Chain A
Amino acid sequence: MTTITKHDSATSNKEVEFASFYVSDLLIGVDILQVQEINRQLTLTNVPHAETYVRGVVNLRGEVITVVDLRTILGLTPSEITTDSRNVVVNIGDEKIGLLADKVAEVVCTTWDKIDPTPANIGGVEGRFFKGVRRLEKELLVILDVEEILQVGGDSQSSGE
């Protein structure tokens, strides 16, 4: 996987909004159109034999959805669930998946042409998980490649470059 931003040049100056949240020290952004909701629904049920990054399943109004721990996928120490923890539910394919966030931040409004390519490594995390970075006043917003993140365990787990 290359680290070139994957966005289409035609859309580069259209406004995009990112829901942002913290995972460890990283401020992570997800295209708000992909986000179904952010909630505190973290009454997790463990799933035996699941990958380590699967924290469990929760009941989202009658639907059983998987909650993954972004920290584990990104190679950081596993999260602890606190009162700040949130479940960021994203739509991917025809499935909803919850991303475990340590803390939510605000919605960032920007355009694609202001987003820079991802460096190979951000704070010890492989760049392949991100679509790009956006410099904010104080910090860096990294745009999460949700598809790539949730591929993990499927086929691209072993890619070590």
Chain B
Amino acid sequence: MSGGNDELLNAFITEASEGLADIENDFLKMEENGDNVDLDLVNKIFRAIHSMKGSSGFLGLKSIGLLAHEMETALNLIRGGDLIPTPTVVETLLKGADALSEMVRNIEDSESYDVSGHLDAIKKAIAGETSEETQESLNRDVDVELPDGGGLVFMLICEQELVSRQRNGQSIYVLDVDMIGDVHDRGRTPLEFLKSLYQCGELIDSYISTAGVGGLDEDLPDKLSLMLLVASKLDREELEAALEIPQDCIHFIASPEETDWTTGTPKSPMTPVSTPVQTDEHAAPKTSSDIPAITNEASARPETSPTSTPPAIRPTQASTSLRVNVGLLDTLMNLAGELVLARNQLVQILDTSDRANLESAAAGIDQITSELQEAIMQTRMQPIGNVFSKFPRIVRDLSKSLGKECELTIEGKDVELDKSIVEAIGDPLTHLVRNSVDHGVETPTVRDAAGKPAVGNIILRAFHQAGKVLISISDDGKGIDPSVLRRKAVDKEIYTSEQARALSDRDAVQLIFHPGFSTAEEVTDVSGRGVGMDVVKTNIENLGGNVEVDTEIGRGTTVTVKLPLTLAIIPSLVVICSGDRFAIPQVNISELVRVKRGEVAARIQKVKNAEVLRLRGSLLPLVRLSSVLSMPTFAPEKPESHTVEPPLDSSQCAPENDASSAKNIADSQAERDIHSALNIIVVEAGHIRYGLIVDALHDSEEIVVKPLGRHMKESECLAGATILGDGKVALILDIAGIASHANLMLVEDEELEDLSDEARKRSGDTQPVLLFTNDPHEQFAAPMPLIARIERISTNQIDSVGGQEVLQYRGGSLSLLSLEDCIKAKPKPDKKQVYVVVFSLAGKEIGLVAPELVDIRNVPTEIDTVTFKEPGVLGSVIVDDRATRLIDIFGLADAVHPDWFEKRATTTTSTGGKPNILLAEDSGFFRGQIMKFLEAGNYDVEGCEDGLIAWNALQDPEKRFDMVITDIEMPNMNGLELAAKIKSDPMFAHLPVIAVTSLAGEEDIERGKRAGVDAYHIKLDREKLLVAVADALKEAKLKAGSAAGGSLMSSGRV
């Protein structure tokens, strides 16, 4: 028996879990409907609870049975309209359902679970909401006695239930089933019997007669009697046919007034009260043939209909089994069959070595494998609704306990994600939803005062976008106030008050992801425990996703979680280090940098034994993969090195034009690296960003992640393994682990900053430029800050329209320039693919055709403006022993599209003369350039070589200036000092100060602002600078006119 019992128990657990999975939301819906009871819904819940009760009695699970019984009683009252599902009632029922789930989960211990609290609560809830008569009849339990003198059978049914069932047209039967003779011997399992019973009617109670059962060690008894109290609409004959049990085992029980019923309290069946009780609700008809005139009869009928289906099936969380669509399984079977055929074909061909057939067989296998993979992946896909379904309850409970009113709208339940992601996303999402209720939505009074509806809206949405799944949680609450976050950040000493002030609102909002940050003014037990969003972020990032916050004060907050469809396959870059291949997940890679042989010394520097890379003006810590992995340092036999097309921002790619220099010699000695180029992968993991030096890039590949065995679990540098195309195993690198293994700390940042400052000072002024060639022998440079992006196009995309070249793309057209058409340059070679460098000028875009890109480089600004003087060329500079012309993109664009730069309304001073600008710039080249275009813009300009000279010029009583433009890095007195001096001197404080720089970094701008600089601009961005000058002058004039009054006005008139 015990084997069968296990099976039965497992079946019970599965069924009960499925029944309970949906029950929460049904309860909530029921509550929402209030006294407008949706009978279908109540019946659905009733069925779930009821079948639990029936089966639990069968399995001897008393606690579950008792609780289910009590809940059923309440549901029955609701069904009959005697109990209104008020929030209190639903609350107790929900708690009861929780307890049931708990018990089902730990079925072994379910008997030790104390359900009395729940029983009392439900009883109380019923007592509070029903009429006294109903209660009375509830309290009268009825003992059942078999009519034909079979004796009193102790089964519990309360009178109220009996009456209401009979009102529904059901008859009550006692079935005396012999589990051995009637069930087992007829080749049925107890479960099958129960199932057929459920199709005929409802099981009210069951009772196993132990009389005929011997001890466990003895042989099976020949009779095992099971008493079942059943309510059914079928008559005896029909029951007999449906259940295949002898008719004499079916005992019809008449209704109370027909006697046979005795009432008594359940605890003392020994003292039966002999008088039958008549409730004032008129007793129901006696037999099923009499259909009572009760309107809900029809809706109660599905109960007995054989086609009634169990509630929708939902696997519970973290389940180890999975329900798969049969159609999908069929597809899989088909594919497996085809795979076998293809294998057979392949084996046959191997005998004949027929090349053509071999290829077709290989192609076949290729296709089948892909399809097979896709189909198998599909079996893992689960609807996100499995997770979403628990949120209505969470929102309800939480808003109740917080005294708020929230309505949760769920969209996109059917969006599917990999099973592992669906399971893992539950907790982070719960946290986010809780946050929305706790921190987002305000209390009704606050909302009212703000003119918003009292009920807050929370929208949970899942949808597909660009191959990813996005889940957004939006509320229309109070939003996140960046200033509160700034203050908090200072309080918690995450930032100094200056740093905090410098944060943009957007950056400040991101602070909620900072460890140890909680936005709730008071810490509640709900959220705001100080561990929160940072954990959410980490968890989501572990799933290969990311999370973003969008907020508007007073309007609400939207948190968007972006997730990959699957974790099983991740795109990655395969690199070579010391002859072995390693995979780096693409999500961790931000760009690839190749430092050429000649530049290694200049670009790689050492800070306290740690190597750093100078990358576009900042310093990046470097980690050598070979030394971090303690790999032997030998040259790989044959480095298969070729530049991989990285799926990165094209403006960041530093392609290589010299294939011969692509020879990589593995080498852990930094000194020897001077003789070889370096492949650096700029990687990111959380807050950490560093460069990983590898020997060579191999390929980009989609890999399947495989776990490593227990002997390698401790290696923090490895995230797993994968099998590459050739069948060999490659290890997957853990980017965060490598950082911690290499002791890469964020603390170093400050030192790095110091160094980068120093480096900047030492090297003098430099300008980052993009180097490219037109004819392979002529090198050109374009200032980086003006470049919007770089595109790679094929030349047949270029159209010639009216003598102008245009590129059709992104639904519009881009005007193109070719150098040979504008300046003295050799024509570009005929190529299929070229790069287009896109500049953004005066709000318009123009593309410059650059057949070959060389590098991005900082070039000194000692620029020769004489040798290659012509319109469209700023000057020349020597880079890598090659004369390189720095192009003037404004000049080029002006020549082609003179209409683009229409005359600006020139600003005049209050005296009507030309505004006089003082320019401090130590680089002769830039000084010349800026003076040139300012003068062209109708300004008078006085150029000074450094800040001190400029300061002295200001003091000169002969001169009067309307504004100051200054470079930052200058000898004697730098631009910041100059700005500070000007702003602190009452004589000059009114002068607008614009700082110019070769590349405006965030920190530079911040430092400038602190010194009193009004605006920051890029030296070679002529258009922006001119606009800024005009604006600043206009503003200064306004200020002087309105605020300062007489003295300034008069001084102006002098």
A interface list, Cβ under 8 A from B: 43, 45-51, 54, 56-59, 62-66, 68, 93, 95, 97, 150, 153
Give the contact stretch, choosing among B172-180, B451-459, B528-536, B726-734.
B726-734
B706 near A95 (CB under 8 angstroms)? no
CB distance from A49 to the nearest CB of B (A): 4
Closest 3 CB pairs of A and B: A48-B629, A66-B709, A45-B729
How many angstroms between the C-alpha atoms of A136 and B496 in the bound complex?
Answer: 79
| Known A-B contacts A45-B728, A48-B630, A48-B631; A62 and B711 likewise in contact (beta carbons under 8 Å) | no
- Whether A47 touches B723, Cβ cut-off 8 Å, given contacts A58-B729, A64-B707, A66-B708, is no
Q: Say yes or no: A95 contacts B710, CB within 8 Å.
A: yes
CB distance from B698 to the nearest CB of A (A): 14
A50–B718 Cα distance when bound, in Å, is 10
B580 and A45 contacting across the interface, CB-CB below 8 Å: yes
Contact between chains at B727 and A50 (CB < 8 Å)? no
Q: Is the CB of A49 within 8 A of B715?
A: yes
Asked whether A47 lies within 8 Å of B730 as measured between CB atoms, the reply is no
Contact B709 A59, beta carbon cutoff 8 Å: no
Set of chain A residues within 8 Å of B631, measured between Cβ atoms: 46, 48
Cβ-defined contact, B723 with A64, below 8 A: yes
Find out whether the CB atom of A57 lies under 8 angstroms from the CB atom of B629.
no
A51: which B residues are within 8 A, CB to CB? 711
Closest to A44 in B: B729
Nearest residue in A to B726 (C-beta to C-beta)?
A43
Q: Does B920 have its Cβ within 8 Å of any Cβ on chain A?
A: no
B234 contacts partner chain A, Cβ-Cβ < 8 Å: no
How many angstroms from the CA of A97 to the CA of B718 in the assembled complex? 19
Q: How far is the CB of A97 from chain B (nearest CB, A)?
A: 6
The reply to whether B710 and A45 contact each other, CB–CB distance below 8 Å, is: no
Contact B731 A43 (CB under 8 A): no
Neighbour of A46 across the interface among B580, B714, B723, CB < 8 A = B580
Q: Please tell me the number of chain B residues within 8 Å of chain A, measured between CB atoms.
A: 23
A66 CB contact (under 8 Å) in B712, B727, B731: B712
**Closest Cβ neighbor of B577 among chain A residues:** A48
Q: List A contacts of B629 (CB < 8 A).
A: 48-49
Contact flags (1/0) for B876-913 with A, using CB distance below 8 Å?
A: 00000000000000000000000000000000000000
**CB pair B715 A62 closer than 8 Å:** no
In the assembled complex, 20 residue pairs joining A and B whose CB atoms fall closer than 8 Å, in A order, are A43-B727, A45-B580, A45-B728, A45-B729, A45-B731, A49-B715, A50-B711, A50-B712, A57-B721, A57-B731, A59-B723, A59-B727, A59-B729, A64-B708, A64-B729, A66-B709, A68-B711, A97-B711, A150-B711, A153-B711
Complex interface: chain B residues within 8 A of A65 (CB): 709
A121→B281 CA distance, assembly (Å)? 91
The docked-state distance in angstroms from the alpha carbon of A114 to that of B630 is 48
Please give the distance in Å from B952's CB to the nearest CB on chain A: 63
B717 within 8 A of A: yes
Cα separation A45 to B977 with both chains bound (whole Å): 59
Additional 6 contacts, C-beta under 8 A, given A45-B731, A49-B717: A48-B629, A48-B717, A49-B712, A54-B712, A93-B710, A150-B711
Q: Across the interface, do A47 and B715 meet the contact criterion of CB distance under 8 Å?
A: yes
Closest to A41 in B: B727
Complex interface: chain B residues within 8 A of A97 (CB): 709, 711
Selected contact of A43 from candidates B630, B715, B717, B728, CB within 8 Å: B728
Residue-wise, chain B 715-750 has the 8 Å CB interface mask toward A (1 for contact) of: 101100111000111110000000000000000000
B-chain residues with CB within 8 Å of residue A50 when the two chains form the complex: 711-712, 715
Q: Which residues of B contact A150 (CB under 8 A)?
A: 711
Residues of chain A with a CB closer than 8 A to B630's CB? 48-49
Task: List A contacts of B730 (CB < 8 A).
Answer: 45
- Binary CB contact string for chain B from 200 to 233 against chain A (1 if under 8 A, 0 otherwise): 0000000000000000000000000000000000
For A47, A48, A59, A63, which residue has the most chain B Cβ atoms within 10 angstroms?
A: A48
Closest residue of chain A to B709 (Cβ to Cβ) is A66
Q: How far is the CA of A64 from the CA of B714 in the complex (A)?
A: 16
What residues of A have a CB within 8 angstroms of the CB of B715 in the complex? 47-50
Contacts of B710 in A (CB 8 A): 66, 93, 95
Q: What CA separation (Å) do A97 and B710 show in the bound complex?
A: 10
Report B-chain residues with C-beta under 8 Å of the C-beta of A95: 709-710
A159 to B98, CA, bound (A): 50
Considering only CB atoms, which chain A residue lies closest to B705 in the complex?
A64
Q: Tell me the complex Cα distance, A93–B709, Å.
A: 11
Measured CB to CB, the closest approach of chain A to B492, in angstroms, equals 36
Q: Across the interface, which residues of A come within 8 angstroms of B728, CB to CB? A: 43, 45, 59
